[in-house]
Amino acid sequence: MLDLDWLLNANSLNLQPEIVSFIDKLKKRWQVTSAWQVLIILVVFACTGYSIVLIKHLLGIKSGSDSTTRILFYIAALPVYNVLLLVYGFIFGQFNFFLNFEKRFFSRIANLFKKKS
């Protein structure tokens, strides 16, 4: 992978310290090695979210639609979102990150339904 950390260097872009701190926090939380990876991951999330909004628009579901239609869309959108996240992650070269992200997500959901002893 190209090392483009210099592109996101605070000195070269005159980024505010808060933005640099935010990127560093995401690097630590997501356990990635570069600010470039953080940027790519954010782009993948943005593309995935935009795709879901586009699908909703193409299906003609608007805020004025009846609540049953909207609820059904949101239930159906969850697996579609997760698949799109993996697809975009693959396209942008971050498939392993998003595969692990999905594993953690589904394990947390599964824990909600487990009986507590």
Which residue, 34, 46, 10, is CA-closest to 26? 34
Domain of residue 73 covers 5-113
pLDDT tens digits, one per residue of 1-17: 455 555 555 455 566 77
- Does residue 70 contact residue 61 with C-beta atoms inside 8 Å? yes
Is the pTM for the entire model greater than 0.85?
A: no
Q: How much helix, strand and coil, in percent to the nearest 5, is found in the chain?
A: 75, 0, 25
- Judged against a pLDDT cut of 80, whether residue 88 lies above it is answered with yes
pLDDT at residue number 94: 96
The pLDDT tens digits for 16-35 are: 777 778 888 999 999 999 98
- Provide mean pLDDT across the span 60-84: 91
Structural domains of the chain, count: 1
